[in-house]
A and B are shown apart, each in its own frame.
Chain A
Amino acid sequence: MNDAVTPIIGIDLGTTNSLVAVWKNGQATLIPNALGEYLTPSCVGLDEDGSILVGKAARERLQTHPQRTAALFKRYMGSNRETRLGKKVFRAEELASLVLRALKEDAESYLGQPVIEAIITVPAYFSDAQRKATKAAGQLAGLRVDALLNEPTAAALAYGIHDKKEETKFLVFDLGGGTFDVSILDLFEGVMEVRASAGDNLLGGEDFVEVLQQEFLQRTALDIEKSKQPAVVRQRVREAVERAKRQLTQTQHAVIELQVDGVTHQWQVTEEGFLQLSEPLLQRLRRPVEQALRDSRIPVAELDNVVLAGGATRMPIVRKLVGKMFGRLPASHLNPDEVVALGAAVQAGLKMRDAALAEMVMTDVCPYSLGIEITRRVSGNTSHLVPGHYMPIIERNSAVPISRVESICTVAENQRELLVRIYQGEGRLVKDNIYLGELRFPVPPRPAGEVSVSIRFTYDVNGLLEVEATVDESGQSHKVVIEENPGVLSQEEIAQRFRILEALKIHPREQAENRVLLARADRLYEQSLGGARHFVGDQTAVFQSVLERQNLEEIRRARSEFARALDSVETGSPLE
């Protein structure tokens, strides 16, 4: 790698966890965070002193301080939903930007130089607004984000580079914490071509936790709202269920046990039972797979491989489903949690035109159709005009960049104005699709159908859509770049919020490890009873007094002792 080039980092901004990686010495390399771990939980919290906590420390505090901690905010990207942490209010992209900023700092400390540019991955099926919000999050974190990369494409890039095969076709099955994506890749002659992508933005590992949780609450007749501390109990239930789900990847059954207000609630779940509960979710995994296959025009039998990505593909019930659907074993020789970040680093390497990747080109598709609303003439009793029909101009799964033109004409006598509403989606009627924006312009008055207008859609590699309408008669053209829509911040708003976020006090990176331990101790203190509880309290007091003395060597020693003490509580019987 050329040292003069500022490195571009690749970031997998996940629903549950986020990772950062870089292309270095001819290969994709993951970057550890301040705790030496690759996975940084996508959690943001507000400490009592008003400073921001990101990652593991925040996740520990989800249970103890649910009012001051946020998680799963990726699900609200591109919406106006706001999350309250203490007295402060944040949008999803602001929370995401805090995670991105932490990752950026990790990368800078690892590389020993400032980082200004990043490639961030998004679910292939993310909408225009969700993509814009992700870019805004990058900007808010002080990163330049020229390109977003689709997650399954990233996974495929990682596998494509890894396998180094001459020619191969494969399907990426990417089930993350909150989103599901399928992409079909065709690798030939150094060209990595995405043939089709499909997905479900509201389906992920968290939904499997949710079905387990519902069942647990029902079986044990535990009413969270009636407990003394609903918010805390809710989070503790979540954690317990999450542990059980993870347990089920190892064994055939797991026990969820929880003490609430002195009453023990217990339920044993088997894999079989989990499978039955998850049936509706598993059904939803099929449709995108079928659609992607049809769109790619590649028969199932011609696929050389099925590749798993996303942490939720660790679940045996998901693996079995994939195995049965394809009649073959899916490949997962790369860690499904890490594969997307690695792919993002490969893309960064491509962008930096790294010598090791000179013979590699990647083309992606636009995963959804883009079009306009039209009025159809339908003949019933009398011939009448029916508005609200959808006319796609760019069909889904076309290779990008792409530019397409279609011609439309007026429907009314002496029509003076034309309104072109722009939509994204696959429905025959626009009401089933997502509204993106509109273009309104005057047209010369003529009999119906005599004024024709060419509508050109241009969609670039970064997912930016430009719509241009030209009145054929006058040659007059009108243009709109779909940039601002509901749920997306404008450039001024971004600048303004950037200043606010910059003024926030961020918990210092050097103290991350201490902070995580203290947060964990808080959680254990709340979870345990009796002797264990006292033990945790005492240990915390000792550690805090050591921290106050600010002797680095002493802190280091005390930290490892503190960690061991907490481990013993966690693995022992904290609920005795």
Chain B
Amino acid sequence: MTYWFLATLELDETVDKSTIRRAYARKLKTIDPAADPQAFQALREAYETALRWVEYADDADEEEDDPPPLATEELAGEVIAAVDSSLARDHAAPLESPAASEPDPRALAQQRYAALNRRALAVASTDQFSALMQSELDHPDLFNLRARDVFHALLVDDLFSARAHHYEWIEAAIQVFRWDADFLHNLGDPWARQELSNWLIEREVLAGRTGGQHVPEYLKRANLTTEPKKVEKRLAKAIVEALHLVRERCPTMNRYLVNPEQADKWITHYPQRAPAAPVPAAKSGNNYWWLWLFMLLPMLRHCDSGPSAPPYVHPSILSSALSEKHAVIKPSEGKIDQCEHEYEALYALLGLAQKNDTSKREWMGRCLALKNYPIPEAQHKKAQPPPRTSAQVDANK
């Protein structure tokens, strides 16, 4: 069996990036996109899918040996110096004598990031944090795009690693980088992108609740207070309510803002009556439980019966997972029922597939081939409920 996208490009499976590009170029010249948009779209889709497929496969194969090429990094510093001097030459009089040994962009970014962290110790409010971030970004060392990129990556990585963080810190980054102004949340790291989307939705959940704006403050108190029983009663009640709310409705914030041990201490100390707004038990917890179920069942079937029965995976999940080649970073080791995210589930599935000795590359191809896999009508209907399918999108349900 050949994958549809390779068939469209008239290629077999022994391809690399450049053969795909060549095949695409060859086919494109036989099409007039203006006159035949359908043909162009079909070709384009095949091309993009094939590129992702081969990229993913290469990535999976070379996961280990991926240290940044140091030589080029060092070179960059010299180039900057050369630019400065040459620009100076262009000009009537030299502006500044180029420094003899300009450090490389990565080092510059790390320096600035360290400085940011140092200075951050002295501030507390979101506005102060964002002023600080902005001032670091405006530092001449971060003029270089590569340095800036590294700085951005360091920050994103720090914000969305499991380390407990201030609410203000994340909010400040959202402000400074205007992440909320762009639905694509182009953070580079797909994990971070997903986390940020969740964060933004959870922010709306809080906003839609009376007193929701104080929740982050209560969470902070919960983390800091060592002896819950000594806290004044009304405050304690508010804190426990906030903890419950975040635990139930805002899993992302819960992960970043709440120290779980502290939270347990509070909740056991002040056991609550029935939750304020009862949530149907079956629907609480994971967002996409029905999706995992849906993916898991056929996947297991697939594992049992071999390659002949490929599972059904919603195409949007695949495309989002595939476009993010680094999603591999945080897999859930096959524990599908604990996955918080679509692609996590997908990689968990991948893990299962691997145990079954199917190579990643082939498996990915198999998933992609599903575009043409006939889906029984009833199943299809079930696979299409809320998520992006509606004029309504369920958030946190």
Contact = CB atoms under 8 A, between A and B. Distances in A.
Given A191-B28, A380-B205, A301 B72 contact: yes
A350 B83 CA distance: 36
A326 interface: yes
Interface stretch (A152-160, A209-217, A371-379): A371-379
Interface in A333-353: none
Interface in A160-190: 188-190
A363 interface: yes
Contacts, number: 191
A81 interface: no
A196 to B, nearest CB: 10
Interface residues of A, number: 75
Contacts of A461: 33-34, 37
A389 interface: yes
A418 interface: yes
A191 B249 contact: no
Given A251-B92, A290-B145, A324-B83, A377 B208 contact: no
* A-B pairs with lowest CB-CB distance, top 9: A380-B208, A189-B25, A401-B37, A409-B390, A380-B209, A408-B391, A324-B143, A323-B83, A294-B186
A294 B22 contact: no
A432 interface: yes
A495 interface: no
A320 B392 contact: no
A479 to B, nearest CB: 16
A401 B80 contact: no
Contacts of B209: 380-381
A315 B272 CA distance: 67
19 contacts: A188-B25, A189-B21, A191-B28, A251-B92, A300-B149, A301-B72, A319-B87, A324-B83, A324-B144, A329-B82, A329-B86, A375-B391, A380-B208, A384-B208, A401-B41, A411-B392, A427-B182, A452-B389, A461-B37
Interface residues of B, number: 69
B302 interface: no
Contacts of B181: 426-428, 432
Given A327-B83, A379-B208, 19 more contacts: A189-B21, A189-B26, A294-B188, A295-B184, A324-B80, A324-B143, A327-B76, A369-B183, A374-B391, A377-B393, A378-B205, A401-B37, A402-B37, A409-B392, A428-B182, A428-B200, A453-B391, A461-B34, A461-B37
A560 interface: no
B244 interface: no
Contacts of B33: 363, 400-401, 461
Q: Is the interface of B mostly helix, strand, loop or mixed?
A: helix
Given A300-B145, A401-B33, A408 B395 contact: no
Q: Is the interface of A mostly helix, strand, loop or mixed?
A: mixed
Contacts of B205: 378-380
B4 interface: no
A381 B86 contact: no
Nearest to B144: A327
B201 interface: yes
A191 B395 CA distance: 42
B390 A452 contact: yes
A321 B37 CA distance: 40
Contacts of A408: 389-391
Nearest to B206: A380
B87 A320 contact: yes
Listed residue (B105, B186, B200, B201) with the most chain A CB atoms within 10 angstroms of its CB: B186
Given A426-B183, A461-B34, A409 B41 contact: no
Nearest to B212: A380
Given A289-B145, A290-B148, A300-B145, A252 B86 contact: no
Given A190-B29, A300-B146, A385-B392, A377 B186 contact: no
B249 A379 contact: yes
B397 A379 contact: yes
B281 interface: no
A289 B29 CA distance: 30
Nearest to A303: B145
Interface in B301-352: none
B91 interface: yes
B29 A359 contact: yes
A550 interface: no
Contacts of A448: 392
A319 B138 CA distance: 18
B63 interface: no
Interface string B182-202: 111010100000000000110
A250 B143 CA distance: 24
Given A407-B384, A426-B184, A461-B33, A382 B80 contact: no
B153 to A, nearest CB: 11
Interface string A540-555: 0000000000000000
B180 interface: yes
A56 to B, nearest CB: 30
